[in-house]
Structure 1
Amino acid sequence: MAWAGLLLNAAGLPWLVQLVTSGGSMAAANWAVGTSAILPALVLGVVACAALVKRRRWGRVVAIVALGLSLAVTLSYGVVWLVLVPFARPLTASVLGVLVVVELLLLIYWCLPRPWWLGRGR
Protein backbone atom coordinates (compact mmCIF):
# COMPACT_ATOMS: atom_id res chain seq x y z
CA MET A 1 0.00 0.00 0.00
CA ALA A 2 2.91 2.35 0.68
CA TRP A 3 4.23 1.89 -2.86
CA ALA A 4 0.81 2.67 -4.33
CA GLY A 5 0.58 5.80 -2.19
CA LEU A 6 4.06 6.88 -3.22
CA LEU A 7 3.22 6.48 -6.90
CA LEU A 8 -0.14 8.26 -6.58
CA ASN A 9 1.30 11.18 -4.62
CA ALA A 10 4.20 11.52 -7.04
CA ALA A 11 1.76 11.42 -9.97
CA GLY A 12 -0.28 14.14 -8.28
CA LEU A 13 2.57 16.64 -8.47
CA PRO A 14 2.45 17.07 -12.29
CA TRP A 15 -1.36 17.25 -12.08
CA LEU A 16 -0.99 20.07 -9.54
CA VAL A 17 1.30 21.99 -11.89
CA GLN A 18 -1.30 21.64 -14.65
CA LEU A 19 -4.08 22.78 -12.29
CA VAL A 20 -2.16 25.83 -11.07
CA THR A 21 -1.12 26.93 -14.55
CA SER A 22 -4.52 26.45 -16.15
CA GLY A 23 -6.55 29.55 -16.77
CA GLY A 24 -10.27 29.99 -16.66
CA SER A 25 -12.74 31.34 -14.16
CA MET A 26 -11.16 29.45 -11.25
CA ALA A 27 -7.53 30.40 -11.98
CA ALA A 28 -7.02 32.46 -8.82
CA ALA A 29 -8.74 29.88 -6.63
CA ASN A 30 -6.77 27.04 -8.24
CA TRP A 31 -3.50 28.85 -7.61
CA ALA A 32 -4.35 29.74 -4.02
CA VAL A 33 -5.68 26.33 -3.01
CA GLY A 34 -3.07 24.46 -5.05
CA THR A 35 -0.07 26.13 -3.47
CA SER A 36 -1.41 26.48 0.06
CA ALA A 37 -3.24 23.19 0.58
CA ILE A 38 -2.83 20.62 -2.19
CA LEU A 39 0.97 20.98 -2.49
CA PRO A 40 1.59 20.42 1.26
CA ALA A 41 -0.77 17.43 1.24
CA LEU A 42 1.04 15.87 -1.72
CA VAL A 43 4.49 16.52 -0.26
CA LEU A 44 3.44 15.07 3.10
CA GLY A 45 2.02 12.07 1.25
CA VAL A 46 5.29 11.48 -0.59
CA VAL A 47 7.31 11.79 2.63
CA ALA A 48 4.92 9.50 4.53
CA CYS A 49 4.89 6.81 1.86
CA ALA A 50 8.66 6.94 1.46
CA ALA A 51 9.00 6.51 5.23
CA LEU A 52 6.53 3.62 5.21
CA VAL A 53 8.42 1.92 2.37
CA LYS A 54 11.59 2.20 4.47
CA ARG A 55 9.62 0.88 7.48
CA ARG A 56 10.01 4.00 9.60
CA ARG A 57 7.50 4.18 12.45
CA TRP A 58 7.02 7.95 12.12
CA GLY A 59 5.71 7.43 8.58
CA ARG A 60 2.39 6.33 10.03
CA VAL A 61 1.95 9.64 11.87
CA VAL A 62 2.88 11.65 8.79
CA ALA A 63 0.44 9.55 6.73
CA ILE A 64 -2.35 10.40 9.18
CA VAL A 65 -1.53 14.10 8.93
CA ALA A 66 -1.34 13.96 5.12
CA LEU A 67 -4.65 12.09 4.82
CA GLY A 68 -6.37 14.47 7.24
CA LEU A 69 -5.19 17.50 5.26
CA SER A 70 -6.13 15.84 1.99
CA LEU A 71 -9.61 15.01 3.26
CA ALA A 72 -10.17 18.58 4.45
CA VAL A 73 -9.02 20.02 1.13
CA THR A 74 -11.06 17.55 -0.92
CA LEU A 75 -14.27 18.26 0.98
CA SER A 76 -13.98 22.04 1.02
CA TYR A 77 -12.58 22.61 -2.45
CA GLY A 78 -14.85 19.96 -3.93
CA VAL A 79 -17.94 21.78 -2.69
CA VAL A 80 -16.65 25.09 -4.05
CA TRP A 81 -15.84 23.45 -7.39
CA LEU A 82 -19.30 21.89 -7.63
CA VAL A 83 -21.00 25.22 -6.92
CA LEU A 84 -18.92 27.43 -9.21
CA VAL A 85 -18.13 25.17 -12.17
CA PRO A 86 -21.22 23.98 -14.10
CA PHE A 87 -19.25 21.56 -16.31
CA ALA A 88 -19.98 17.84 -15.73
CA ARG A 89 -21.42 18.19 -12.24
CA PRO A 90 -22.71 14.60 -11.92
CA LEU A 91 -19.34 13.15 -12.91
CA THR A 92 -17.44 15.58 -10.68
CA ALA A 93 -19.73 14.82 -7.73
CA SER A 94 -19.29 11.07 -8.24
CA VAL A 95 -15.50 11.30 -8.45
CA LEU A 96 -15.34 13.56 -5.40
CA GLY A 97 -17.61 11.21 -3.46
CA VAL A 98 -15.44 8.21 -4.23
CA LEU A 99 -12.27 10.17 -3.40
CA VAL A 100 -13.66 11.30 -0.04
CA VAL A 101 -14.71 7.75 0.89
CA VAL A 102 -11.30 6.34 -0.09
CA GLU A 103 -9.46 9.04 1.88
CA LEU A 104 -11.69 8.45 4.91
CA LEU A 105 -11.15 4.68 4.78
CA LEU A 106 -7.38 5.14 4.49
CA LEU A 107 -7.43 7.57 7.41
CA ILE A 108 -9.35 5.06 9.52
CA TYR A 109 -6.94 2.28 8.49
CA TRP A 110 -3.86 4.24 9.58
CA CYS A 111 -5.50 5.40 12.83
CA LEU A 112 -6.41 1.90 13.99
CA PRO A 113 -3.85 0.07 16.11
CA ARG A 114 -2.09 -2.80 14.46
CA PRO A 115 -3.47 -6.23 15.43
CA TRP A 116 -1.28 -8.19 17.82
CA TRP A 117 -0.90 -11.11 15.39
CA LEU A 118 0.82 -8.90 12.81
CA GLY A 119 3.58 -7.91 15.22
CA ARG A 120 4.83 -4.50 16.31
CA GLY A 121 5.68 -1.52 14.14
CA ARG A 122 4.52 -0.57 10.72
Structure 2
Amino acid sequence: MSAQNKKNRAQQKFSHRKGPINFARIRARLATSKENNEPHTQASMFVETRQSTKEKSLDEDTLDVIVHLQAENKKSKESAIRDFQSIFGKEKAGRVRCHGRVTTLALLKKNEEIATLK
Protein backbone atom coordinates (compact mmCIF):
# COMPACT_ATOMS: atom_id res chain seq x y z
CA MET A 1 0.00 0.00 0.00
CA SER A 2 2.85 2.37 0.84
CA ALA A 3 4.58 1.70 -2.47
CA GLN A 4 1.36 2.44 -4.38
CA ASN A 5 0.84 5.66 -2.42
CA LYS A 6 4.40 6.78 -3.23
CA LYS A 7 3.81 6.06 -6.90
CA ASN A 8 0.55 8.03 -6.93
CA ARG A 9 2.09 10.97 -5.07
CA ALA A 10 5.01 11.09 -7.51
CA GLN A 11 2.54 11.49 -10.40
CA GLN A 12 1.14 14.75 -9.03
CA LYS A 13 2.57 17.83 -10.71
CA PHE A 14 1.52 20.74 -8.50
CA SER A 15 1.21 20.10 -4.79
CA HIS A 16 -1.07 21.99 -2.42
CA ARG A 17 1.15 23.99 -0.04
CA LYS A 18 -1.21 25.28 2.63
CA GLY A 19 -0.93 22.31 4.98
CA PRO A 20 -4.10 21.40 6.89
CA ILE A 21 -5.99 24.49 5.68
CA ASN A 22 -8.65 23.34 3.21
CA PHE A 23 -9.92 25.11 0.09
CA ALA A 24 -13.17 26.27 1.71
CA ARG A 25 -11.33 28.12 4.48
CA ILE A 26 -8.94 29.72 1.98
CA ARG A 27 -11.85 30.75 -0.28
CA ALA A 28 -13.72 32.30 2.68
CA ARG A 29 -10.63 34.24 3.78
CA LEU A 30 -10.07 35.55 0.26
CA ALA A 31 -13.74 36.48 -0.15
CA THR A 32 -13.68 38.62 2.98
CA SER A 33 -10.57 40.40 1.74
CA LYS A 34 -12.39 41.49 -1.44
CA GLU A 35 -14.68 44.50 -1.32
CA ASN A 36 -17.77 42.95 -2.90
CA ASN A 37 -17.28 39.32 -1.72
CA GLU A 38 -16.95 38.20 -5.34
CA PRO A 39 -16.05 34.51 -5.65
CA HIS A 40 -12.57 33.69 -6.80
CA THR A 41 -11.72 31.93 -10.03
CA GLN A 42 -10.01 28.57 -10.22
CA ALA A 43 -6.86 30.33 -11.41
CA SER A 44 -6.68 32.63 -8.39
CA MET A 45 -7.33 29.71 -6.03
CA PHE A 46 -4.60 27.69 -7.74
CA VAL A 47 -2.11 30.53 -7.25
CA GLU A 48 -3.11 31.05 -3.63
CA THR A 49 -2.93 27.37 -2.64
CA ARG A 50 0.39 26.70 -4.36
CA GLN A 51 2.35 29.50 -2.71
CA SER A 52 4.38 28.39 0.27
CA THR A 53 3.54 29.69 3.73
CA LYS A 54 7.15 29.15 4.84
CA GLU A 55 8.67 31.00 1.87
CA LYS A 56 10.08 27.82 0.35
CA SER A 57 10.93 27.99 -3.33
CA LEU A 58 8.60 26.49 -5.90
CA ASP A 59 9.64 24.22 -8.74
CA GLU A 60 9.96 25.70 -12.24
CA ASP A 61 6.77 24.11 -13.63
CA THR A 62 4.63 25.58 -10.86
CA LEU A 63 6.23 29.01 -11.22
CA ASP A 64 5.63 29.02 -14.97
CA VAL A 65 1.95 28.12 -14.53
CA ILE A 66 1.46 30.73 -11.79
CA VAL A 67 3.01 33.50 -13.90
CA HIS A 68 0.90 32.49 -16.91
CA LEU A 69 -2.33 32.36 -14.89
CA GLN A 70 -1.69 35.71 -13.21
CA ALA A 71 -1.11 37.36 -16.59
CA GLU A 72 -4.34 35.91 -17.99
CA ASN A 73 -6.29 36.76 -14.83
CA LYS A 74 -5.53 40.47 -15.40
CA LYS A 75 -7.04 40.38 -18.91
CA SER A 76 -10.57 39.12 -18.28
CA LYS A 77 -12.41 36.52 -16.28
CA GLU A 78 -13.54 34.54 -19.36
CA SER A 79 -10.02 34.32 -20.79
CA ALA A 80 -8.72 33.20 -17.38
CA ILE A 81 -11.27 30.37 -17.30
CA ARG A 82 -10.40 29.24 -20.85
CA ASP A 83 -6.68 29.46 -20.09
CA PHE A 84 -7.06 27.42 -16.88
CA GLN A 85 -8.89 24.71 -18.83
CA SER A 86 -6.27 24.74 -21.60
CA ILE A 87 -3.47 24.19 -19.08
CA PHE A 88 -5.11 21.55 -16.90
CA GLY A 89 -7.51 19.92 -19.35
CA LYS A 90 -11.14 18.99 -18.99
CA GLU A 91 -12.55 18.41 -15.51
CA LYS A 92 -13.18 14.83 -14.47
CA ALA A 93 -16.77 13.82 -13.82
CA GLY A 94 -17.89 14.73 -10.32
CA ARG A 95 -14.83 16.92 -9.61
CA VAL A 96 -14.02 20.60 -9.82
CA ARG A 97 -10.39 21.62 -9.42
CA CYS A 98 -9.48 24.05 -6.63
CA HIS A 99 -12.84 23.65 -4.88
CA GLY A 100 -12.20 20.77 -2.52
CA ARG A 101 -13.49 17.22 -2.44
CA VAL A 102 -17.25 17.59 -2.11
CA THR A 103 -17.90 20.35 -4.65
CA THR A 104 -19.41 19.27 -7.96
CA LEU A 105 -20.24 21.24 -11.09
CA ALA A 106 -23.98 20.82 -10.41
CA LEU A 107 -23.56 22.26 -6.91
CA LEU A 108 -21.66 25.27 -8.29
CA LYS A 109 -24.38 25.95 -10.88
CA LYS A 110 -27.08 25.66 -8.22
CA ASN A 111 -25.24 28.12 -5.96
CA GLU A 112 -24.86 30.58 -8.87
CA GLU A 113 -28.60 30.41 -9.60
CA ILE A 114 -29.40 31.03 -5.93
CA ALA A 115 -27.01 33.99 -5.86
CA THR A 116 -28.60 35.54 -8.97
CA LEU A 117 -32.09 35.15 -7.50
CA LYS A 118 -31.03 36.94 -4.33
TM-score (norm 2): 0.33
TM-score (norm 1): 0.32
More helix, by proportion: 1
